[in-house]
Copies of this chain bind each other. A is one copy, B any other.
């Protein structure tokens, strides 16, 4: 059994980790920390866990790295990088960080996150955890930088065309996130009466911190990486990120496009390439680790449209983190992750 701890278990991604790990056949969940709720029952905050998880939140302790095989960090951006060095020093546990703290080189991090990086030495050794695209490196990683939710949806949708060198010009990415993407922190924007029956864009104009993360992977995948024009939106569902990519690409046959994607993702259990005329939907993957990808060609306008749907808390956060853990510890990549989307 792999002994695991979750640091920062009171947020939505942390709680999803707790839920997945509690049902994982190869994991023993030893501790879930929360600074503000230490001592309180987890099920009191997440009533779906009543009778499922009997743990209470505990206080954070760097010694967790000594007593566990893996420590998941599910903290707000800027927090994980302050804890990681002591954790590394405290024991041999592998670290999987769900925040943005280990995804970018320190200089780029400072530009986009607005603060200096607190552990620049550790960034070098961190491996970017987009499992389907980086599995070999993840296998041997000590620190995994788990991808952001938008990057997961965008990069998985774009990768086959990028890798084939077919993208010509900027990639326009319109993404719509469910409200859980904004986290559990109380805010006006996430109040039911404001978020319900609504859609609105935010952080428009090339300012979202996920842009450099996406472009960094574009650079690794494509010989001549395109610019990204990224507009995120928030709409009236709890879970899911829907991505619609529009780009000029040197491919005008839908059948050829479909073939390209099927080849690229052959053997990847969680990626589902949909047949012509069928498009992804976030409800189809809610609660699951799947990513559905749909394809279309606009011959009139000389453009290709690629859509993807993921659950932002699962494939976009906790689920992919466990997928990475499975890879790091030599388990079946799908262990504990076979939940099917809740539909209807």
Chain A interfacial positions (CB closer than 8 Å to B): 12, 19, 22-23, 44, 46-52, 170, 172, 174, 176, 178-180, 184, 186-188, 190-202, 204-206, 211, 227-229, 231, 233, 235-240, 242, 244, 246, 254, 269, 272, 274, 278-288, 290, 292, 294, 296-303, 305, 307, 309, 338-344
Query: Using Cβ atoms and an 8 Å threshold, which residues of chain B touch A344?
Result: 12, 180, 191, 193-194, 196, 238-239
Do the beta carbons of A19 and B236 come within 8 Å of each other? no
Bound-state Cα–Cα, A22 to B340, Å? 10
Do the beta carbons of B198 and A282 come within 8 Å of each other? yes
Do the beta carbons of A201 and B236 come within 8 Å of each other? no
Do the beta carbons of B192 and A191 come within 8 Å of each other? yes
Do the beta carbons of B197 and A239 come within 8 Å of each other? yes
Bound-state Cα–Cα, A49 to B272, Å? 11
- The answer to whether residues A282 and B199 also contact, given A229-B246, A238-B193 and a CB cut-off of 8 A, is yes
Query: Using Cβ atoms and an 8 Å threshold, which residues of chain B touch A290?
Result: 50-51
Bound-state Cα–Cα, A285 to B43, Å? 13
**How far is the CB of A230 from the nearest CB of chain B, in Å?**
8
Bound-state Cα–Cα, A46 to B288, Å? 14
Bound-state Cα–Cα, A246 to B231, Å? 9
Task: Give the nearest-CB partner of A236 in chain B.
Answer: B236
List 17 A-B residue pairs with CB atoms under 8 Å apart, sorted by A's residue number.
A12-B344, A46-B343, A51-B269, A174-B174, A174-B231, A174-B244, A174-B246, A178-B197, A186-B186, A192-B236, A198-B283, A199-B240, A200-B281, A201-B280, A201-B294, A227-B302, A231-B305
Do the beta carbons of B237 and A198 come within 8 Å of each other? yes
